């Protein structure tokens, strides 16, 4: 399996961005995850379904609710991680913190490492409360990935970036997840602020839905993170056609990150919502 540092280094050598794709376990089959990878997704976020996904928009919330109703468990998430890691790309778990506390932090870290996972993205875990996870991640060789937002102060950006390994996740808007008609004008400035305090790659997520938008974001960020668009494509296609639908979207996005659009961006935009002020 290739790790995050090697994945970013290889993409950099090719002069392109890294494509990160998200789907919740239980809302998509293993063949769908595999199809994403085969069509060009470089890093996979496997979502751990949770009953109160406060930072997710309606598309992901509906998918997560369906996965929970179908009985998806953390064990199913880890089996999905193992399958994704078996394709050779880094597999990260994307999860709210409560399920990890319920499972046991040290136990989950050990089981994630045993499944071949590369690390974990924790959108609602603050630096002040991250000690147990950071210790467990260090012990198991996992990459902790935290989020910064346009509202984050320079001091907080530096604090959060200093705790990350693999990459820093920059949220492009001050709202919940969801594909948008245009990319965020605040994101380039946030990426610049992150790069001022760390040498880690910076990935931008929330809002990208097609190859053109991926090309725009790849013009200033190291990674383009896509979630809701994949979830919607899989939902609309239905179970039998989901792998093909995920592959079509992945191919479009993968072509986008290979033709970055480098052009001046507006300095800022008004916040969409106050949902990420705490990161």
| pLDDT score, position 261 | 77
What pTM did the predictor assign? 0.90
Structure tokens at 278: 């705490």
| pLDDT score, position 184 | 58
- Among 6, 52, 56, 272, the one annotated catalytic: 56
Mean pLDDT across the stretch 221-227? 97
Is residue 150 predicted with pLDDT exceeding 80? yes
Mean pLDDT across the stretch 255-264? 80
103 against 207, higher pLDDT = 103
Is residue 182 predicted with pLDDT exceeding 80? no
45 is annotated as an active-site residue = yes
- Among 14, 38, 45, 82, the one annotated catalytic: 45
pLDDT tens string 24-66: 999 999 999 999 999 999 999 999 999 888 778 889 999 999 9
Is residue 277 predicted with pLDDT exceeding 90? no
| pLDDT score, position 262 | 64
Mean pLDDT across the stretch 143-170? 96
270 pLDDT band (50/70/90 cuts)? Answer: very low
172 pLDDT band (50/70/90 cuts)? Answer: confident
pLDDT tens string 94-144: 999 999 999 999 999 999 999 999 999 999 999 999 999 999 999 999 999
| pLDDT score, position 252 | 98
| pLDDT score, position 266 | 43
Share of the chain above pLDDT 90, in %: 83
| pLDDT score, position 267 | 43
Span 4-257 CATH architecture: Alpha-Beta Barrel (3.20)
pLDDT tens string 228-238: 999 999 999 99
């Amino acid at each position: 399996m290739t790790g995050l540092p090697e994945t970013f280094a290889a993409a950099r050598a090719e002069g392109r961005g890294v494509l990160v794709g998200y789907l919740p376990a239980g809302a998509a089959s293993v063949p769908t995850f595999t199809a994403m990878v085969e069509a060009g997704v470089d890093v996979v976020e496997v979502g751990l379904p949770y009953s109160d996904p406060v930072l997710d928009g309606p598309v992901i919330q509906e998918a997560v609710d369906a996965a929970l109703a179908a009985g998806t468990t953390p064990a199913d998430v880890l089996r999905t991680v193992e399958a994704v890691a078996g394709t050779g790309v880094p597999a990260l778990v994307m999860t709210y913190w409560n399920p990890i506390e319920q499972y046991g932090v040290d136990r989950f870290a050990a089981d994630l490492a045993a499944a071949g996972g590369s690390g974990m993205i924790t959108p609602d875990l603050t630096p002040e409360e991250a000690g147990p996870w950071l210790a467990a991640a260090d012990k198991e060789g996992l990459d902790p990935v935290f989020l910064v937002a346009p509202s984050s102060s320079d001091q907080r950006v530096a604090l959060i970036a200093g705790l990350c390994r693999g990459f820093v996740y920059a949220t492009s808007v001050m709202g919940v997840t969801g594909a948008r008609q245009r990319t965020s004008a605040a994101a380039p400035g946030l990426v610049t602020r992150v790069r001022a305090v760390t040498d880690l790659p910076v990935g931008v997520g929330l809002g990208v839905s097609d190859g053109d938008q991926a090309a725009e974001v790849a013009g200033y960020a190291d990674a383009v993170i896509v979630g809701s668009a994949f979830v919607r494509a899989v939902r609309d296609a239905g179970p039998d056609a989901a792998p093909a639908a995920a592959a079509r979207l992945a191919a479009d996005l993968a072509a986008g990150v290979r033709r970055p659009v480098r052009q001046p961006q507006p300095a800022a935009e008004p916040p969409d919502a106050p949902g990420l002020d705490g990161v």
